[in-house]
A and B are shown apart, each in its own frame.
Chain A
Amino acid sequence: MPDFSESQKEQTIRAYLHYFAETEIRPRSLEADRMADIQPDFYSVLDRAGISTEMMPRDPGASRAGQSGDGPREHQTLRTAVLASEELSWGDASFMLSLPGPGLGGPPVSFIGTREQRDRFFAIFQDKSRPRFGAYALTEPEAGSDVAGIRTRCEEVPGGFRITGTKTFITNGSRADWVVVFATLDPELGRAGQRTFVVERGREGFSVGRKHHKLGLRASDTAELVFQDCFVPEENLLGGRAHYERQQSKEGFKVAMATFDSTRPLVAAMAVGIARAAAERARELVSERYMLSRALPRYRAILESLDDMDRRVRAARLMTWKSAYLADARQPQSRAASMAKAYAGGQAVQICREALELTADSGEEPDPFLEKWFRDIRVFDLFEGTAQVQRLVVARRLFDEIGAKVGL
């Protein structure tokens, strides 16, 4: 039976993260946004608070059917991660994206990497002497949604590969200790020609291009990465050659795409956190500004709007929870994950806009948090799969249910 109960432990974790978001993230949020950087002292606070991305599934493979040797014990990793994502993003999603750890580079290493590679690349996060980051570099200036169209080339040379090309919009790109890089042996080969590497910072031929100036999530580092004949040894080819032999039967591509099934719920949860923050703030401001001076019936529309926002936040959260639950229960959740991201992303943009509209009044300065969240939220319908791509996935799954090949 569907069950929405929360254990004492879960309540405690959530309350603690919320407290951390309220006392450590929010006070830094506006300044970090202005500086387009996270304050350095945040990382020692993070460390002292014991918050790390270990609460995120380090091995999302454990949540995927058939990917791990774990028994039938019920996993809760993605559900816990989703709760954490929402609370921390309620604080500031830029800070959430700036948490040390493998970040979006984690899932490919977990899914595709050999045991040795997983040990090697994840080992650096044990060193807490400074914040360490992973990154995920797929997008290029000319290839966003069209993943098969990437042009960063990798050429086989003795002992490894040489990589040449440019990657763009890479989160934590300028400070990552290593980056998961997607390149192609030959664009004509399409997906069959794609290879995935881990490139460590400091390799010759790998440099950081410009940092992007963005509409929102300004404090999150987003950079361009440039590869010019960057040599990468054989042992950095993720999964080794054996993986690509399997990929000829589309196994590898399927696995690569499966990583999105675990990150989409997390991204959806971030959108829910921002939307919830905006809805709560709007309600606070409306209450403060219309105290005791006007008769209620004139403001029915406001209350209806607030009620509507609450409902949409709740619906988005439930869709996100459901996709996380399905992942934990090792059931197929590609459609649920895409629905959660599309719904949460789209609704959150509307909610943030409505929050701003509700509270804007001539003669009053717009609330800086609402403005910031309005700017921040827009990317949630763009990264990790655009709104259109998510709808494509959902629609394709709808036709898959009846075995229809419509050519979508």
Chain B
Amino acid sequence: MVRRSPITNMFAGSPVKPLQEHMGKVHECVKTLVPFFKAVIEKDYSQVAVLQQEIHRTEVEADDMKHELRIHLPNSLFMPMPRERILDIVLNQDRMANKAKEIAGVINGRKMELPDEISELMGLYVASCVSASRQAKRIINELDELIEVGFRGREVNSVEEMINDLDKIEYETDKLESQINNALFVIEKSMDPIDAVFLYRVIRGVGEVADIAQRVGSRLELLLAR
């Protein structure tokens, strides 16, 4: 006859850990883009297919974690951050993985090839996008520290600095994106038009992963503003 004590019932389970775990999974998915693009550049299509599967798998796992987190976030929770904000952050985290899956799916499905003229830039660009994702993960990992300090003082400043760094990374990624676009524009006439269109789409997709990573950071920044 163990009774559910009101004290136990009170601690409904903080969404912070699940949120961080979700971000961890998302980053695992996103960072696979680096070996994935390496394989594409090396035209190793069996490896491309393997890594596409890997990206797909981690995206599905992240998706499950997202659902799990949402289910355990009832309305009656009293949290140091608004519930909507948490749901918003998890949604954006999830979009990063979705984007990565989309990119990998298109490239593998069409057995796309990267023109040699842009392959080096592309490697840098993807790496930059992954470091945006890594920075977003670091920021989300500060959330338990923020709760420890009650969203006040020094810790807030250091998280704000991390968010600034994320903005810088995103800005660098943007610059690389326009460089690639310019380089591709020069050679697009020599390419199959449909391939060129899809290549532009892939380039935008990679940029979007960084954009959304930045959005994760800015959503968290809103928690600090209160």
Do A and B interact with each other, yes or no?
A: no
